[in-house]
Amino acid sequence: MSLRLGDEVPDFKAKTTVGDISFHEFLGDSWGVLFSHPADYTPVCTTELGRTAQLKDEFARRNVKAIALSVDPLDKHEGWINDINETQHTKVEFPIIADEDRKVSGLYDMIHPNASATATVRSLFIIGPDKKLKLSLTYPASTGRNFTEVLRVIDSLQLTALHSVATPADWKNGEDVIVVPSVTTEEALKRFPKGLNIIKPYLRYTPQPES
């Protein structure tokens, strides 16, 4: 199954390091970040899971639940978490799915046979409270993910879901945003009282609206 932006993500039941879950129920009204790992006890993944644990407060502030996945069993996950906590100086508290039968990997198209016939690629999905896919990224096994970028994208998604704006290249939270083309300049002047910076009729900046 190939997921596209705007699709409702598949629900599933799974065993995790914090107990059995039903995915949609686990997400509730929160945003979600689901990300996969080729295998337990791999060096790049160790740093990624550690970094996610270190960013616990940043995810919580954005109402985001993180959940990871590997095709290895629960007992390996639990041993690996001990290593992650030790080497990354953190405490992994978010769930890691034990996808031994590769059911979830199949639902989310995480196994790419030309990369590996058995291991998941390094996929990441950002899911909205409406259970729809907002972003998907796929990294090769050799490249660790940039979680600063993941948080930046979440900031953009949450802001643009509330206001008729888009975020420009390299935008960071607090910087000026772009008024979307569907909003006329006359309407934009009313909607965005902080003012407009009109570069071109189609390129109009405004200070970031309040969330």
Question: What CA–CA distance (Å, rounded) separates 67 from 14?
Answer: 11
The phi, psi pair for 210, rounded to 5°, reads -70, 140
Q: Which residue is catalytic, options 3, 9, 27, 45?
A: 45
What burial letters (b/e) apply to 20-33, b meaning 16+ CB within 10 Å?
ebebeebbeebbbb
Known catalytic residue at 98: no
Catalytic residues: 45
